A and B are shown apart, each in its own frame.
Chain A
Amino acid sequence: MTKSLPSVTIVRRVKAPPAKVWAAITKPELMMQWWGPDAGPTLRAEADVRPGGRFSVVFRLLNGEEHNPTGIYQEVIPEQKLVFTWEAPGMPEQESLVTFLLEPIDGGTRLTLLHEHLPDEARESHEQGWNGLLNKLPVFLGVTEWAN
């Protein structure tokens, strides 16, 4: 059902074993080293990695803005799957869900990151998924010309 909601998916082949990738996404001292949308620093990371445990990361952008996404771990399968909710205080958005999938492959790990919206109410059925909309994205990117 969540397939038809907006989402960001990133898939990478990583030349490191799942155990090492798992450590990087669950150990605060390692999380501090990669989180953030630019070269700005990660200031704090908390990770109580068990279902119901809390997640919190504070990072500062190069422009000085600080962000503090927080959430609750939903699913924890060591070296395979990590799912947590995502709330971004101060952002005009609803709670969303982040999933990390780790699969062992020859020479390392296949890492999948999925960030998707949570359904916020009963929905009508969708004939076409979000992927269908993504195909039309270039059209919507012209959105600033729409001003009326």
Chain B
Amino acid sequence: MDRTFSALADPTRRAVLLRLKEKPGLSVSELARPFSLKLPGMMKHLDVLSDAGLITRTKTGRTVSVNLSVRPMREAMAWLQRYERLWTVSIDRLVALVEKDDA
């Protein structure tokens, strides 16, 4: 899962994901266009996203279309939600406990 967060730390890669959310199945060159990136540069970003399991690439003839993959993002969000809840509730109770006598 750390790979997911690492992949997401880059603004270009986040922008790629957001574009794919709007337009699933874009080709590599269509993805590269708005970023003024050469194809090899975009391919590198896509490799990172693919290694993190965030996208899938499908080859049809000479065109490679790119799609979002949902699972790793969901796991990452689940981690955050789980621990936000655990600590928010726990710290509330901790504060209540230590303030009980001193208030």
Contact = CB atoms under 8 A, between A and B. Distances in A.
Main secondary structure of the interface of B (DSSP, over half): helix
A123 B82 CA distance: 25
A53 interface: no
A93 B1 contact: yes
B30 to A, nearest CB: 17
A124 B52 CA distance: 13
Nearest to B86: A37
B95 A10 contact: no
Contacts of A117: 1-2, 5
Interface string B36-75: 0000000000000000000000000000000111100111
Q: Identify which of A8, A24, A111, A129 gathers the most chain B CB atoms within 10 Å of its CB.
A: A8
Given A124-B6, A128-B9, A115 B83 contact: yes
Interface residues of B, number: 42
Contacts of B85: 37
A25 interface: yes
Contact of B70 (A115, A130, A143): A143
Interface of B: 1-2, 5-6, 8-11, 14, 18, 21, 24, 67-70, 73-77, 79-80, 82-91, 93-99, 102-103
Interface of A: 4-6, 8, 10, 12, 14-17, 20-21, 24-25, 30, 33-38, 91-94, 108, 111, 113, 115, 117-121, 123-124, 126-130, 132-133, 136, 139-144, 146-148
